[in-house]
Structure 1
Amino acid sequence: MAWYHSETIQLTCTKKWFETPDSVSFELSSDSASDSFQFKAGQFSSLGFDIEGNTAFRAYSISSIPGDSRLKFTVKRVPDGLVSNHIVDTLSVGQKVQAQAPVGQFNNVDCTPKQKVLMISAGCGVTPVMSMVDQWLAEGANIDIEFLHLAKSKLDAIYFDRLMELNQSVESFHLNMLLEDNAGTDFPQGLISLEWLKALVSDFQQRTIYLCGPTGFMGAVKSALEEVQFDMSQFHQESFTPAQVAAEAGEGTVKIAVPDFGVEVEADEGSLLIDALEKGGVPVIAACRSGICGSCKCKVKVGQVESSSYETLSDEERESGYVLACSSTIKSDVEVSLN
């Protein structure tokens, strides 16, 4: 099944299970048993869940492989996380879930691999890189895979059994699992130093590197690679992290009008457009809040905003005034349309 970027389809939860005490995997299927899902391994989808009468969207990496008859996701509980807690505690088999078309530049099609790769992940960051690995293995690709994963403990390691099984049964797959609770005092507590990288994967300079994990972790890995002048054209990281948008209040207030919905609200100058739209009850989807999924696309017809991301927007859309609300700060009174 393929669907247009702006289209939202309804799927059904057909399976759910715990991966760790605070993370679950679940599968979504369409009503047609013959449907298969087409995407690029490593991409994510924005999912909408009915929570207390409202539909809340969040973006999650797909951990199944292209062509499967179901979409698989793994979600870890986030403290005070509305959607993650709902998924872990409440989502059940048979419930309906809204899904938007998969997107994302972090994938093994646009980011072409060499014959040797190094997959680096931490925590829930294992999900998109696992999809890439599973696709390569399913296709019998001639790729040598070094897989470096960090977790707090064996109990907290998502896909632990699967990774161990691959390490034992697949000749081209080599696993380094670093667990903080038994790594010793020299382990950099959730970060990877250049010394550790050299010790664990001595030929990393000859590999295409795919990286996904917490922001600080990814920053440490990238800095280590830059320090040794790694060919950064062979470095790919998931940018699926909260957008760092400078939302600094100005001296006054501005008005945000959305005539299509009869909405007019006030907000601080310099605040995020998405916050103002949500305050006014405008049914805008803000799934990733990272400026990469494109679900909060809207058109600024009058006034000015300052945007830090234009992911998924074409040149024509930008020229016509389209912006991503989650990555745009308001600079004047504005009139906005969702069409």
Structure 2
Amino acid sequence: MTVPGRGGTLALDGVLTADEAALTADRIAALQRPDGAIPWFRGHHLDPWDHVEAAMALDAAGHHDRARAAYEWLARNQLPDGSWYAAYDDGDAERPTDRSRETNFCAYVAVGVLHHHLATGDDPFRRRMWPVVAAAVDFVLDLQHEDGRIGWKREADGAAVTDALLTGCASVHQALRCALRLAELAGDPRPDWELATGRLAHAVRCHPERFLDKSRYSMDWYYPVLGGVLRGEAARARLASRWDEFVVPGLGVRCVLPNPWVTGGESAELALSLWAAGESDRAAEILGAIGHLRAEDGLYWTGYVYADDAVWPEERTSWTAGSVLLAVAALNGHSATTAVFGGDALPDGLAPDCCAGAGHPER
């Protein structure tokens, strides 16, 4: 295992050689449009969350100019209310294909901007992007309920969808903590964000009944850990609780029960969650198990239906490759990646006065 600093080489025994990781990063970069947009693959759509995930992988691999271009695309194409559309045809900002605006998609820019700043030390970039982040967070928090959960999205006509998703809200929690750190760096205190972050964390940690039941999906299982809501023994207990349901030894992680389908993105995200819970060896095992999804060009197939011995769907996405590189980067100690996914130095927000004994997670 090599240990990069801000940039550096990514390699992990049994998972990726340095040359293989570099090839994967180059292939993600090759999918990027000249205007900075990173679609799933050329000819498919871009969504803001996966666009940021791919950009973070580029930073982890040292492609800082490419990553900065991805964030500048977001800055140029932010809507007046601080949001972005849920999907754009091939990343073309003039051709949105889904005009709803999803809260977790919009919040994730905060994670990416902080990650890029930590990877590069680029203060002018951070200052330029701060208003973008602030507007995005305000859009997201406009959909927060008093009980802490955050509504899924606004429809194309502006109507609020009040139902909340556990996975999405756990992702928003990570983003809010990164946004609070950016606020500190900007010298722009946001006490309302601190309160919102604490209420959201409490809802995810203690009140699963407030969210739509998506327990068939592995993301609802591990995202409270990945999003930084659970740490320490609580995180390890959650990951142990459904391990046998979702993990297929030697193949990876199921996306949804009862389907015999393992997916690269969920597997890499579980590896990141395991790393955050202090289980790096198991994280490396999961990453090693999805080697069968790696294509010759360095990208990764989205998934594999093991009952049929078939790759499905037949697509290799920027975000699947990106999630693998980010997991490898965390295990390698890449400082920017460990900061945004470990969260030890990120603000926690203010815990609400509810449910005695349910304060901040163990750190």
Normalised by the size of structure 2, how large is the TM-score? 0.29
Q: TM-score, normalised by structure 1?
A: 0.30
Q: Which has the higher strand share?
A: 1
Structure number having the greater helix percentage: 2
Q: Based on CA coordinates, which of the two structures has the bigger radius of gyration?
A: 1
Work out which structure has the larger RCO, using CA pairs closer than 8 Å and 6 or more positions apart in sequence.
2
